[in-house]
Amino acid sequence: MNTIAKDLLQDLIERTQGNINKAETFKQLSFDTLTWRKDSDSWSILECIEHLNRYGAFYIPEIKNRIKSSKHSNSKRFVSGWLGNYAANMMLPKEKLNTMKTFKSMNPIDSNLSVETIDIFIEQQYSLIDLLEKSKKVNLNKVKTAISISKWIKLRLGDTFRVVIYHNQRHILQGERIVLKKNT
C-alpha cells in the first residue's frame, strides 16, 4: 500500500467509528443473544468482543508509548511494509471469512462475560480514535510497534493501525453474522 497518510488515517477513523456504532447496537440485544453460540466450538458475540479487548489491551498502550516517544515528524505518504501489508490484508473482512487459529491467551471461549465487555470495547475504540488523531503528527513509516506475538517483530505504525482496526471490523462482522444465524 502506498497512500496519502492523512487519507489512510481518515479511513481508519471512519472504520473505527463504524465499529463503535455496531458495538452500540449489540448493547441493545438480549443477554441470551449476546451469549448464543452456533455450537460448542464457535464464539458468541461477547466472546468475539472479548477477543478484541484482549488485543486492544496490548496494542493501545504499545501504540500510545510509541507515538509519545516518537521523534519523527509526520509524513505526507504512508508506504506499507511487506509484512504489515500482508497481515493487514489477511485481517480485512471478506465476503467469506477464512477462519484463523487464535492464540490460547487471546481465546475468550467459556470466559465469564457481561455487557460490560462491550463497554470496554467501546472505550478502547475511542482511545484508538484519539491515537489516530495524535498519529497525524508522527511519521507512520518510521514509528514502529511491537506485535502481540513477538516483541522482536516490529510493524510500521500505519500497518499496526490497519491490522488492529481491520481485525476489529472482522470480528464485529462475525458478531453481526451470529445475530443473523441465531434469528434463522
Query: How far is CA 29 from each of CA 36, 45, 161, 178, rounded to the nearest angstrom?
Result: 11, 10, 29, 12
Say how many domains are in the chain: 1
- How does pLDDT run across 89-111, given as a tens digit for each residue? 999 887 766 666 776 767 788 88
Q: Output the pLDDT for position 110.
A: 82
Question: What pLDDT is attached to residue 97?
Answer: 62
pLDDT of residue 98: 63
Give the residue from 168, 141, 148, 155 showing the smallest Cα distance to 14: 168
| 159: CATH | 1.20.120.450
Task: Report pLDDT for 75.
Answer: 85
Radius of gyration of the chain (CA): 16
Please give the pLDDT value at position 100: 65
Whole-model pTM above 0.75?
yes
pLDDT value at position 108? 82
**CB burial string 143-170: b at 16+ within 10 A, e below:** bbbbbbeeeeebbbbbbbbbbbbbbbbb
- Return d(Cα 4, Cα 12) in angstroms, integer: 13
Domain residue limits at 103: 2-182
> Average pLDDT by consecutive 10-residue portion of the chain (184 residues)?
96 98 97 94 95 97 96 90 95 74 74 96 98 96 90 93 97 94 81
